[in-house]
Amino acid sequence: MDPSGKTVIVTGAGSGIGRALCDAFHQAGAKKIVVSDIDRQAAEAVAGRIGGAAILCDVAEEAQVRSLIEKTEAEFGPIDLYCSNAGVALGFSPRVENAAAGPEELWERSWSINVMGHVYAARHLIPRMKARGGGYLLNTVSAAGLLTQIGSAIYSTTKHAAVGFAENIAIAHRDDGIKVSILCPQAVDTPLLHLLPSGPQSADGVLSPEQVAQAAIRGLEREIFLILPHAEVEGYIRRKMEDRDRWIDGMVRLQRRIYGSQS
């Protein structure tokens, strides 16, 4: 996937990784970049800087995602690349009394954004992409969806679900010409990171949003499913698959080292 000359949507684009993706696609010569966010002012600031278009959208609301897609295609033509980047990190605690005890509203909000945001986009884009012979989806997930997240069952569970959904699309729709990549960094220097308690996500260094965006560009060029801005994650995945019990033992030791005994 070469972004040059393409029409691109980026959700959660007012700051962080989303903003950096918009800048990277602009530098790569995208024809039109639709900057979508729940913060209108932030979206308009990014769009103004790169000559894009700002569209307000809460990805937790299917009607708003459908409207985002319809408005974009009506004004700028077929969407070549949809970057489902918006996400939330909720339910974090340095001491877990009960992994299942997070408030219902946090589970629901996380599910609606971290999972259903991807589902709604695919639900309304796949028929359009199939009709014209293909398209590309880039879903920002997290290394937590491949490994796990110490300190938040909510975040970890929804990110695992997002990985599973993307895999299903990649399998079900390859013959329709629809390609999928997932972007799975560890710690990234965004406002979101600074709201979280200290944890293992920063152990391999904190990347800038710009570094993550460049990793995304390289992954899209290669059209690979799994884009890992932190190279160390590949080794962690391999160890997890080779001996899951040993890996869990290691994660328990890591949790103890960071937060102390949970008992």
Mind telling me the catalytic residues? 155
The C-alpha atoms of residue 145 and residue 247 are separated, in whole angstroms, by 15
Q: Is 223 left (phi over 0), alpha (psi -120 to 50) or beta?
A: left
* Cβ neighbourhood burial of 110 (10 Å; 0-12, 13-18, 19+): buried
DSSP assignment, residue 35?
A: E
Is the separation of the CB atoms in 9 and 2 below 8 Å? Answer: no
The C-alpha atoms of residue 142 and residue 152 are separated, in whole angstroms, by 13
**C-alpha gyration radius of the chain:** 18
Do the bridges between strand 178-183 and strand 135-140 make them parallel or antiparallel, or are there none, so unpaired? parallel
Do the bridges between strand 226-227 and strand 32-37 make them parallel or antiparallel, or are there none, so unpaired? unpaired
The C-alpha atoms of residue 111 and residue 81 are separated, in whole angstroms, by 23
The C-alpha atoms of residue 119 and residue 112 are separated, in whole angstroms, by 9
Is the separation of the CB atoms in 151 and 92 below 8 Å? Answer: yes
Closest C-alpha to 84, from 2, 13, 145, 186: 13
Q: Position of tokens 């993307």?
A: 166
